[in-house]
Amino acid sequence: MSWKHADYTGWGRYYRATGELARPERASALDRIALEGPCPAIGQRRSYADGCLNSGGRAIDTARLDRFLAFDEDTGVLTVESGCRLGDIVTHFGPRGWLPTVLPGTGFATVGGAIAMDVHGKNHHHVGSFGQHVIAMTLHHPDGPVRITRNDPLFAATIGGMGQTGPIGAVEIQMTRIRGDVMMVTERRVPDLDSFLGLLDTSEATYTVGWIDATATGDHLGRGIFEEGETGPGLVPPAKRGKRVPMDAPNFALSGPIVRNFNAMYYRRIPERGRTLVKPLEDFFFPLDKIHDWNRLYGKRGFHQFQCVVPLSEREVLRDMLTRVGASGLASPLAVLKRMGPGRAGMMSFPTEGYTLAIDFPARDKAPEMIRRLIAMTDEAGGRVYLAKDAFAASEQMDRMYPERAAWADFVNGLDPEHAYATDLMRRLSLRTLP
Amino acid sequence: MSNTTPETWLILGATSSMARALARKLADRGATVLVAGRDMADLEATAADCRFRGAPVSESLRFDAREPETFQPILDRMAECEGTLNAAVFVGSMPPQDEIDADPAMIDGVVTDSFTGPARLLHALAPMLEARGSGTIVGVGSVAGDRGRVGNYVYGAAKAGFATYISGLRNRLTRSGCHAVTVKPGFVDTAMTWGLDGMFLVAPPEAVADSILKAVRKKQNVIYTPFFWRYIMMIIRAVPEPIFKKMSI
């Protein structure tokens, strides 16, 4: 196997790594690498911080292991290689009436990555997390490939397991039948946080998500746009892909006043009485994928995303969080509020019943302090932060947020005593350290 | 792309990433795809992938340039396909020059893999295209074939031979309404170039596949991909031999 010396980053471009990457093109290469010396696998590096980094070590880039291997029209079970991008599945299987049951906010995420982070989508309150729809997968261990299914203890350690149980090869996922390959999307303005939470609590739509203006304060606190989506038959022009951000934007592009004005305009874009639109599947599920490399809009310094989930009973903490963020002038236009159901499939899965709030922050000097404060508030409210996004949590918070962490670490360490699969995220938060 | 007549593409050496990219694009537009090579497990994965991307028929076939008995089943399968028959050849082998220096018998293998093996198959395929009066053969050569260099001249010589063969085939096929395209890729982002020093302006395999399809559509004869390699090679070919022989590029 040839290895390339590379500098690479997570999606937030804040944490960086230098190390050697292999990019196998055939599944058999995964076994060869496992024999030569195991190392973690990474996908399209859509984790924001350091979950996809292995500084000073090696990693397997799965970009070229991205083929569809089998599909059963009767059962809807799709077999793919782990580097397969979810957007690619949507584009090719949507028109035949099937979608992955769970889709995260970017179609660039790979199936392997979706497993490693047990990602959730806009229908989490109905169908649960991605891992709940994985039927089987193959792990490539030094003593040979092993195919695991739900009953295997390895399964719950692998789903949401951040790659710590070894590189994933082929994966079988359960797809869902859709009524048609376009989206009916209803968008409405929401004037404040209480109305927002009310809509999230009562909506009966299959897919729901809320954009929230994290710069709003006072009476407008928590205002935003509530989106409900259903698949259906119809005709729309295919999604346009591929505008690329050509360079790093200057730092002032996302300064406080500019973001505040942008958000106000973005809010008023929706007519006061709301509207229903018909959109291509990709435009609804992956709104930002239209702009390739949009992370460069944050400039050279990069950005962070804070994402937490707090129990339903702790909704007031969201108000406190938004008040702080609104007053700080640090937020970017990207902030999302959603209600989650209880569905989760792994010991280290993020999803749990409650409200999840995600806010992007350009990586300015004051951002870490702000985010640490939000993490502490999450911790006090009995919630947890999403490790696919986290950049600033403290290791002592982990056992409260992830009660199964020690059991998981014990299991994973038994499988990989040399920590060959460890990433920068594992080391930063001592996730594999036993008490 | 009009799809009124069905098209079939035989892709030799289909485990390479350039070939895989081409197979996917052909599948996307509804072509029948026959992927051939030696690693049958990998070829079956690519064949399945093409099936789900839109190929009405997609199969893996065994092809080994050094085993001529693998040729006839491929030709038989092609003969069964309807519509326009086409082939794209990506095969070739480039062992390090120092290994060849230690064991000159390896030259036979390189020439068979990169030139005479595929040429023998194409030679048997050409009459089928002629009989139907349509179809294109794409021969992927290399800029290494444009001038012999100390680092890889055995491989370069085999590719030069193959390029000359394709040029002659073009001359022949054009008489019956068929065509042949010579493709000379520069640096492409493949397993072969991954991690090599001195790579610049590396093209993704998808871009190479796009330029191949464009060349087929427009009946271009010889393409360099990315295009600027035509000018780089023009300069390299223009260096007078007394100077060139002392250079190491």
pLDDT in tens, A79-104: 999 999 999 999 999 999 999 999 99
The pLDDT value given to residue A148:
98
In the predicted structure, residue A55 carries a pLDDT above the cut 50: yes
What is the per-residue pLDDT for A242? 67
Please report residues of A whose CB lies closer than 8 A to that of B51: 68
pLDDT at residue B28 tops 60: yes
Q: Which residue has the tokens 């991205």?
A: A66
pLDDT of A293 reads: 87
Ranges for all domains in chain A classified under CATH 3.40.462.10: 182-398
Chain A contact set for B48 (CB, 8 A): 67-70
Interchain pair B49, A68: CB under 8 A: yes
- Classify domain A182-398 at the CATH topology level: Vanillyl-alcohol Oxidase; Chain A, domain 3 (3.40.462)
Any idea which of A124-128, A271-275, A289-293, B23-27 has the lowest mean pLDDT?
A: A289-293
Segment A138-147 shows an average pLDDT of 96
pTM score over 0.90: yes
Instruction: Report pLDDT for B201.
Output: 85
Q: Given A2, A27, A68, which is nearest B194 (Cβ)?
A: A2
Segment B113-130, tens digit of pLDDT = 999 999 999 999 999 999
Give residue B79's pLDDT.
Answer: 97
Query: Cβ B41–A28 below 8 Å, yes or no?
Result: yes
Is the pLDDT at A239 greater than 80? The verdict is no
- Decide which of A254 and B114 is more confident: B114
- Residue B31: pLDDT band (50, 70, 90) is very high
The CATH number of A68-179 is 3.30.465.10
> Measured between beta carbons, which residues in chain B are less than 8 angstroms from residue A238?
none
Do residues A361 and A373 make contact, with C-beta atoms less than 8 angstroms apart?
no
Q: Do B195 and A70 touch (CB under 8 A)?
A: no
Q: Is it the case that residue A344 has pLDDT exceeding 50? A: yes
Q: Check CB contact under 8 Å for A27 and B15.
A: no
Q: Which of B15, B54, B195 is opposite residue A3, by nearest beta carbon?
A: B195
Closest CB to A67 among B39, B49, B194: B49
Digit-coded pLDDT (tens) for A374-390: 999 999 999 999 999 99
Domain B7-244 is in which class? alpha beta
Nearest Cα of chain A lies from the Cα of B193 at a distance, in angstroms, of 9
Residue B242: pLDDT above 80?
yes
pLDDT of residue A241: 66
Region A207-231: mean pLDDT is: 95
Instruction: State mean pLDDT over A242-255.
Output: 81
> B195: distance to nearest CA of chain A, Å?
4
Q: What is the DSSP string of chain B?
A: ---SS-EEEEEETTTSHHHHHHHHHHHHTT-EEEEEES-HHHHHHHHHHHHHTT-SSEEEEE--TT-GGGHHHHHHHHHHS-SEEEEEE-------HHHHHH-TTHHHHHHIIIIIHHHHHHHHHHHHHHHHT--EEEEE--GGGSS--TTTHHHHHHHHHHHHHHHHHHHHHGGGT-EEEEEEE-SB-STTTTT-TT--SPBPHHHHHHHHHHHHHTT-SEEEESTTHHHHHHHHHHS-HHHHTT---
pLDDT tens-place string over residues A163-173: 999 999 999 99
Burial track A292-325 (b if 16+ CB lie within 10 A, e otherwise) = eebbbbbbeebbbbbbbbbeeebbebbeebbeeb
B189 and chain A: CB distance < 8 Å anywhere? no
- Flag whether pLDDT at B1 surpasses 50: no
pLDDT of B247 reads 87
